[in-house]
Amino acid sequence: MEAAAAGSQQRLGSSTTCGPRVSELTEAGNLAGVQHIILVLSGKGGVGKSTISTELALALRHAGKKVGILDVDLCGPSIPRMLRAQGRAVHQCDGGWVPVYVDQEQSICLMSVGFLLENPDEAVVWRGPKKNALIKQFVSDVAWGQLDYLVVDTPPGTSDEHMATVDALRPYGPLGALVVTTPQAVSVGDVRRELTFCRKTGLRVLGVVENMSGFVCPHCAECTSVFSRGGGEELASHAGVPFLGSVPLDPELTKSLEEGRDFIREFPESPAFPALLSIAQKVLTEAPARVP
C-alpha cells in the first residue's frame, strides 16, 4: 500500500480472491467495468450530499442497477453509518482492495476512509497531498468490478479533494455532476460557485437538487417552507442546467439514515419518497455512459 494509507494497515482484512470477472477487469483498470460515474457536489456544507448520495444509490439499486459508492469526504465519512456498514474491514485481493458490500445480493458496494480508521472518532488530520494520494488509491486500487453506476460523495467546496477526484476519474469518463443545494440564498450563492467549478473542469451537470425543501406536516399534509423555497430551481434556471427536483424534510428519512435502514423500501408513503424516485429516474435517463 502507498504511504497515504500506511497508518491504516491494521484495518485491512485478510486477502481474498477476486471473482473471475473482477480479475479480468482489473487488467484494464479497476474502473473498466463501471458504466456511469456521478459526482455529488456542493459548494456548501450541511446541505445533505451524503443523504442524496445514499438515497440515489438505494433508488438505483431498486431500479435493478448494480451500484458502487465512493466516499471521498475524508474528514466526514458518514456513508458507512447511513448504510449500516460501519466497523467492516476492507479485504484485499489480487486486483486491490475489495469494496464493502452492504447487502446480501451484493448490489451496493462502498469504499470509504471510515473503514480504514482504528477508531470511528479519530480525526483525519492530513494535508492536501496525503488526501489526494488516498483518493487516487480509491480510484486505482479498489476492485470495483462490474457496476452500472458509481456514485461519488464529495466534501463541500472546490479545492484539492475535488480536483484530485476529477483528475483521477476523468480517464474513465464521461463524468456527470449532481449538484445539491438547500433553498436559502446563502446556500445557493455558495453552490453557484460549484457550478462554476463544473464549467472550469469540464464536468457535465446532470442537474440541481434542492434538499430540505419545506417540511410536510404528517397530520395535515401542509408544507411549511422552513428554509425558504425555490432557490434550487431558480439557480438551475439561471445556470441553464436541469432542475431534478425538491426533497422535503422528513423525520422518517433522518431516522432511516441514522439507523442504516433502506428508506426507499420501507417508507413509500413518505413525501420524500416520490421526490427521490423522480430524481433517480432522471439520472437514469440523463447520466452519460461510457463507450466500450
On whether 45 is known to bind a ligand per the annotation, the reply is yes
* Nearest-angstrom CA–CA distance, 232 and 235: 5
Q: Is 220 annotated as a binding residue?
A: yes
48 among the known binding-site residues?
yes
In three-state secondary structure terms, 291 is coil
Nearest to 53 by CA among 287, 221, 252, 279: 279
Residue 49 known to bind ligand:
yes
Q: DSSP for 133-151?
A: HHHHHHHHSB---SEEEEE
Question: Is 139 known as a binding-site position?
Answer: no
Cα angle for residues 183, 160, 198 (degrees, 5° grid): 50
Judge whether 176 is annotated as a binding position: no
Rounded to 5 degrees, φ, ψ at 214 are 90, 160
44 belongs to an annotated ligand binding site: yes
Return the number of other C-beta atoms located less than 10 Å from residue 227's C-beta: 17
Instruction: Provide the H-helix boundaries in 147-250.
Output: 160-169, 185-201, 231-239
The grid cell for 185 is 440564498
The reply to whether 173 sits in an annotated binding site is no
Pair type for strands 34-41 and 147-153: parallel
At 103, the amino acid letter reads D
User: Is 22 annotated as a binding-site member?
Assistant: no
**68 known member of a binding site:** no
Contacts of 257 (CB under 8 A, 6+ apart): 51, 54, 81, 82, 263
Read off the DSSP letter of residue 278.
H
Q: Output phi, psi for 34, to 5 deg.
A: -95, 125
Q: What cell does 115 get? A: 473503514
**Residues annotated in the binding site for [4Fe-4S] cluster, as ranges?**
217, 220
**Residues annotated in the binding site for ATP, as ranges?**
43-50
**Residues annotated in the binding site, as ranges?**
43-50, 217, 220
